[in-house]
Chain A
Amino acid sequence: LEDRVEERTRQLSLSNAELQEAMAELRKTQQAVSQVEKMAALGRLSAGVGHELNNPMMGVLNYMEAIEAKTEDPELRVLVSKANQALARMREIIKGLMTYSHASSRNVEVVSVRQVIDKVVEFLDVQLRHADVELIVDIPDDLSTVHMNANELFQCLLNLIINALDAVKDSDIRKIVVAASNLEGCVQVDIIDSGPGISDQVRSKIFDPFFTTKEVGKGTGLGLSVSKNLIESYGGNLTEISAGEEQDQYSLGGAHFSITLESTESK
């Protein structure tokens, strides 16, 4: 009997240990779920706040610019110009908030990279013409599709092309190339510009959140880090190609970023 009691006790203590382990696992899962829910709620909140702030922001921005255009008072002009700089920073922060929040509600689909590129180009048409930038879009007819959220790909390409646009603004030659290709089961999109390029000191930090070389108020430093995170979350890559490493026909002397995403045909 003693042996049986001992055996039963041993079994019970084993079961107890297993139960404890299962409970700990459950608690961990519950915490993770609650964290995901919190992040999703935070995402919805920040997207909502960002969106609601955009309308009054557009009002204030234009009220200030109207004052600037109407006043001759130099002191007032300085103050208005400072207010405008602060507003531009707020605008970028809101944009960053909204971009981060998008990751929480994604709808993955088969996306035509060509259509997304066309949409981005159409979206930036006015800015490109305004800055007198020559944009060359080179997409083969048989470009594959990818599995991604179309809006997120739109956001990544928009960030990269806006960066290119900012980079070439003050250059003598203002040229941007967006070239797409099928490459070993992947779709590759290259964004190349004729700007000053990326210096060695800056290169290691370009994908860090909140790192920016743009003047105060012009950038949040979130664009590249957000884009890289998004692309990588689909198993793709966003890399910066240093001068000399380029293997294609386009070399404009400026920055070169390359997105690679697995094509749907390779799956």
Chain B
Amino acid sequence: MSLVLNGDIMPKVLIIDDDEAVRDAFQLALEPVDVEVVVAEDGLTGLEIALSQTLDLIFLDLKMPGIDGVETLRRLRAAGIETTVYIVTAFLPEFLDQLSEATREGLRFGLGQKPLSRSQIQSIAKSMLTKKS
């Protein structure tokens, strides 16, 4: 599996999730895909990374200590970061309400349901990165 966005530069994917098992899941699934994976344990760390590096895709958790996923997305967009964001969450009504609010605010994002399998993670990354290129 090979994805090249800008000449020979490897695409960079950021995983923002407070759960180690979920971060591992993304890292393991993306191993065979030619991408560089960076991880953050919370929204603020994710924001810092996004502000200091050029990213091609962000997988974002919704329920996190500190600032939650929607607030992280809001701050990313406010900072002018237009990287594709794919929100991964369990299906719970309160989160869908939050997401509806984010949509009303005009924040753009993709949406996936936890738990994601290896092939689902790979195909999401592939299709999101290919679409971008």
Q: Closest residue to B29 on the A side, CB-wise? A: A62
B115, A57: Cβ atoms closer than 8 Å: yes
Given A54-B115, A65-B118, A123-B111, A59 and B25 touching (CB < 8 A)? yes
Instruction: Give the residues in chain A near B118, CB-CB below 8 Å.
Output: 61-62, 65-66, 69
Kindly state the separation between the CA atoms of A51 and B90 in the bound complex, as whole angstroms: 6
A130, closest chain B residue (CB): B123
Which chain A residues numbered 42 to 63 have a C-beta less than 8 Å away from chain B?
47, 50-51, 54-63
Proximity string of chain B (1-41) to chain A, C-beta cutoff 8 Å, 1 when within and 0 when not: 00000000000000000011110111011011000000000
Query: What secondary structure prevails in chain A residues at the interface with B?
Result: helix
Select which of A56, A57, A66, A129 is within 8 A of B28 by beta carbon.
A66
B92-A51 in contact (CB<8A): yes
Q: Is A122 an interface residue (CB 8 A)?
A: yes
- Say yes or no: B32 contacts A59, CB within 8 Å: no
Q: Contact check, A55 vs B19: say whether CB atoms are below 8 A apart.
A: yes
- Interface status of B66 (Cβ within 8 A of chain A): no
Contact string, A96-135, partner B, CB cutoff 8 A, digits 1/0?
0010001001010000000000000011001101100000
- Chain A residues near B123: list those with CB within 8 A: 126, 130
A105–B93 touching, CB < 8 Å: yes
With A and B bound together, what is the CA distance between A202 and B93 in angstroms?
32
Distance to closest chain B CB from A113 (angstroms):
15
**Does A29 have its Cβ within 8 Å of any Cβ on chain B?**
no
* A122-151 contact mask (Cβ, 8 Å, vs B): 1 or 0: 110011011000000000000000000111
CB contact under 8 A between A50 and B25, given known A59-B19, A65-B118, A130-B123: no
- Given the complex, which residues of A lie within 8 Å of B92, measured CB to CB? 47, 51, 98
In the bound complex, CA of A58 to CA of B63 (Å) = 15
Chain B residues near A126: list those with CB within 8 A. Answer: 110, 112, 120, 123-124, 127
| A256 within 8 A of partner (CB) | no
Do the beta carbons of B24 and A65 come within 8 Å of each other? no
Contact of A61 among B31, B91, B93, B117 (CB under 8 A): B117
Q: Is B116 an interface residue (CB 8 A)?
A: yes
In the complex, the answer to whether B111 meets A58 with C-beta atoms within 8 Å is no
Cross-chain contact of B21 among A58, A66, A130 (Cβ < 8 A):
A58
Asked if B114 is at the interface of the complex by the 8 Å CB criterion, the answer is yes
Given contacts A65-B117, A126-B124, contact A58 B96 (CB under 8 A): no
Q: Which residues of B contact A (CB under 8 A)?
A: 19-22, 24-26, 28-29, 31-32, 63, 90-93, 96-97, 100, 110-121, 123-124, 127
Can you give 20 A-B contacts (C-beta < 8 A)? A47-B92, A51-B90, A54-B115, A58-B21, A58-B22, A58-B25, A59-B25, A61-B25, A62-B28, A63-B25, A63-B28, A69-B32, A69-B118, A95-B91, A98-B90, A98-B92, A126-B127, A130-B127, A150-B96, A155-B91
Instruction: Give A contacts to B, CB under 8 Å.
Output: 47, 50-51, 54-63, 65-66, 69, 91, 95, 98, 102, 105, 107, 122-123, 126-127, 129-130, 149-151, 154-155
List 8 tightest A-B contacts by C-beta distance, closest first.
Answer: A59-B21, A58-B115, A62-B25, A65-B118, A66-B28, A55-B19, A151-B93, A54-B90
